Amino acid sequence: MNEYRDIHASLLRFLQGFATRETAAGGAVSALNLDGFASPMDWPEKDFVALSEFQMDVEEAFVRPAIAFVISTRNDKNLFRMEEITNRLLNELLPTKRVEIVDAVTGAPRGYLNVLNRTRVGSVLHTDTQPARPIFVTFKSDQTLRLDSR
Protein backbone atom coordinates (compact mmCIF):
# COMPACT_ATOMS: atom_id res chain seq x y z
CA MET A 1 0.00 0.00 0.00
CA ASN A 2 1.42 3.35 -1.07
CA GLU A 3 -1.66 5.43 -0.26
CA TYR A 4 -0.01 7.70 2.30
CA ARG A 5 3.01 8.45 0.13
CA ASP A 6 1.01 8.90 -3.08
CA ILE A 7 -1.70 11.08 -1.53
CA HIS A 8 0.78 13.32 0.27
CA ALA A 9 2.80 13.74 -2.94
CA SER A 10 -0.39 14.40 -4.92
CA LEU A 11 -1.49 17.17 -2.55
CA LEU A 12 1.96 18.77 -2.73
CA ARG A 13 1.80 18.56 -6.53
CA PHE A 14 -1.67 20.17 -6.52
CA LEU A 15 -0.40 22.99 -4.31
CA GLN A 16 2.70 23.50 -6.47
CA GLY A 17 0.45 23.83 -9.53
CA PHE A 18 -1.65 26.41 -7.68
CA ALA A 19 1.45 28.39 -6.66
CA THR A 20 2.75 28.30 -10.24
CA ARG A 21 -0.56 29.69 -11.56
CA GLU A 22 -0.54 32.41 -8.88
CA THR A 23 3.00 33.41 -9.81
CA ALA A 24 2.16 33.42 -13.53
CA ALA A 25 -0.79 35.72 -12.78
CA GLY A 26 1.55 38.29 -11.23
CA GLY A 27 2.01 37.16 -7.63
CA ALA A 28 5.12 35.63 -6.16
CA VAL A 29 3.80 32.61 -4.28
CA SER A 30 5.77 29.53 -3.21
CA ALA A 31 4.43 26.12 -2.22
CA LEU A 32 5.82 24.18 0.71
CA ASN A 33 5.17 21.50 3.31
CA LEU A 34 4.62 23.47 6.50
CA ASP A 35 4.87 20.30 8.59
CA GLY A 36 8.57 20.34 7.72
CA PHE A 37 9.14 23.52 9.74
CA ALA A 38 9.61 23.45 13.49
CA SER A 39 8.40 26.99 14.10
CA PRO A 40 6.96 30.04 12.30
CA MET A 41 10.33 31.66 12.96
CA ASP A 42 11.71 29.28 10.31
CA TRP A 43 9.10 30.15 7.65
CA PRO A 44 10.36 31.74 4.43
CA GLU A 45 9.98 35.52 4.43
CA LYS A 46 7.64 35.61 1.45
CA ASP A 47 4.10 34.74 0.41
CA PHE A 48 3.38 31.02 0.39
CA VAL A 49 0.72 28.34 0.32
CA ALA A 50 1.44 25.19 2.28
CA LEU A 51 0.23 21.80 3.41
CA SER A 52 -0.13 21.39 7.16
CA GLU A 53 -1.63 18.95 9.64
CA PHE A 54 -1.85 16.12 7.10
CA GLN A 55 -4.02 13.32 8.46
CA MET A 56 -5.31 10.18 6.85
CA ASP A 57 -8.13 7.99 8.11
CA VAL A 58 -8.47 4.46 6.78
CA GLU A 59 -11.88 2.94 7.39
CA GLU A 60 -12.40 -0.50 5.96
CA ALA A 61 -11.10 -0.11 2.39
CA PHE A 62 -11.71 3.64 2.13
CA VAL A 63 -9.14 6.39 2.62
CA ARG A 64 -10.13 9.85 3.86
CA PRO A 65 -7.27 12.35 4.04
CA ALA A 66 -7.80 15.63 5.89
CA ILE A 67 -5.50 18.61 5.65
CA ALA A 68 -5.07 22.27 6.38
CA PHE A 69 -3.96 24.29 3.39
CA VAL A 70 -2.26 27.38 4.81
CA ILE A 71 -1.98 30.75 3.08
CA SER A 72 0.58 33.18 4.46
CA THR A 73 1.62 36.58 3.17
CA ARG A 74 4.47 38.84 4.15
CA ASN A 75 4.25 42.64 4.44
CA ASP A 76 0.56 42.56 3.50
CA LYS A 77 -1.10 45.45 5.31
CA ASN A 78 -4.83 44.77 5.75
CA LEU A 79 -4.23 41.25 4.32
CA PHE A 80 -5.56 42.07 0.86
CA ARG A 81 -3.20 39.63 -0.90
CA MET A 82 -4.02 36.92 1.62
CA GLU A 83 -7.74 37.37 1.01
CA GLU A 84 -7.32 37.13 -2.78
CA ILE A 85 -5.13 34.02 -2.56
CA THR A 86 -7.54 32.45 -0.05
CA ASN A 87 -10.47 33.10 -2.35
CA ARG A 88 -8.77 31.53 -5.37
CA LEU A 89 -7.55 28.47 -3.44
CA LEU A 90 -10.96 28.00 -1.83
CA ASN A 91 -12.57 27.96 -5.28
CA GLU A 92 -10.39 24.93 -6.11
CA LEU A 93 -11.29 23.16 -2.86
CA LEU A 94 -15.07 23.44 -2.76
CA PRO A 95 -17.15 20.29 -2.22
CA THR A 96 -17.37 18.15 -5.38
CA LYS A 97 -14.00 19.43 -6.67
CA ARG A 98 -11.22 16.87 -6.96
CA VAL A 99 -7.45 16.51 -6.90
CA GLU A 100 -5.66 13.95 -9.05
CA ILE A 101 -3.83 11.15 -7.23
CA VAL A 102 -0.48 10.33 -8.79
CA ASP A 103 2.13 7.72 -8.05
CA ALA A 104 4.74 9.52 -5.92
CA VAL A 105 7.63 7.89 -7.78
CA THR A 106 6.51 7.85 -11.41
CA GLY A 107 3.96 10.69 -11.46
CA ALA A 108 1.49 8.41 -13.26
CA PRO A 109 -2.17 9.28 -12.57
CA ARG A 110 -4.04 6.64 -10.59
CA GLY A 111 -7.26 8.19 -9.31
CA TYR A 112 -8.82 11.17 -7.58
CA LEU A 113 -9.35 12.69 -4.18
CA ASN A 114 -12.88 14.09 -4.02
CA VAL A 115 -13.50 17.07 -1.74
CA LEU A 116 -16.18 16.26 0.83
CA ASN A 117 -18.66 18.66 2.41
CA ARG A 118 -17.56 21.01 5.18
CA THR A 119 -14.58 22.73 3.63
CA ARG A 120 -13.83 25.41 6.22
CA VAL A 121 -11.83 28.63 6.09
CA GLY A 122 -10.27 29.21 9.49
CA SER A 123 -9.44 32.39 11.33
CA VAL A 124 -6.21 34.24 10.66
CA LEU A 125 -3.44 32.94 12.90
CA HIS A 126 -1.11 35.68 14.10
CA THR A 127 2.45 34.49 14.59
CA ASP A 128 5.59 36.42 15.49
CA THR A 129 6.65 36.48 11.85
CA GLN A 130 3.63 36.71 9.55
CA PRO A 131 -0.10 35.90 9.56
CA ALA A 132 -1.47 32.64 8.22
CA ARG A 133 -4.97 31.46 7.33
CA PRO A 134 -5.90 27.76 7.09
CA ILE A 135 -8.45 26.15 4.82
CA PHE A 136 -9.49 22.79 6.28
CA VAL A 137 -10.43 20.14 3.72
CA THR A 138 -11.44 16.50 3.94
CA PHE A 139 -11.18 14.26 0.90
CA LYS A 140 -12.32 10.78 0.02
CA SER A 141 -10.22 8.73 -2.36
CA ASP A 142 -11.97 7.04 -5.24
CA GLN A 143 -9.47 4.20 -4.84
CA THR A 144 -10.22 1.33 -2.49
CA LEU A 145 -7.58 -0.58 -0.60
CA ARG A 146 -7.01 -4.27 -0.97
CA LEU A 147 -6.84 -5.42 2.61
CA ASP A 148 -5.05 -8.69 3.19
CA SER A 149 -6.51 -10.93 5.84
CA ARG A 150 -3.03 -11.99 6.99
Domain count, the chain: 1
Residues of the chain with pLDDT under 50: 150
Does 120 reside within a domain?
yes
Q: Check which CATH number belongs to the domain holding 107 and give it.
A: 3.30.2000.20
pLDDT of residue 129: 85
In a domain, 148, yes or no: no
According to DSSP, the residues that pair with 141 across neighbouring strands are 113
Contact 45, 74 (CB under 8 A): yes
pTM over 0.85: yes
Alpha helical stretches, state H, 25-124: 80-91
Q: Residue 124 belongs to what domain range?
A: 3-141
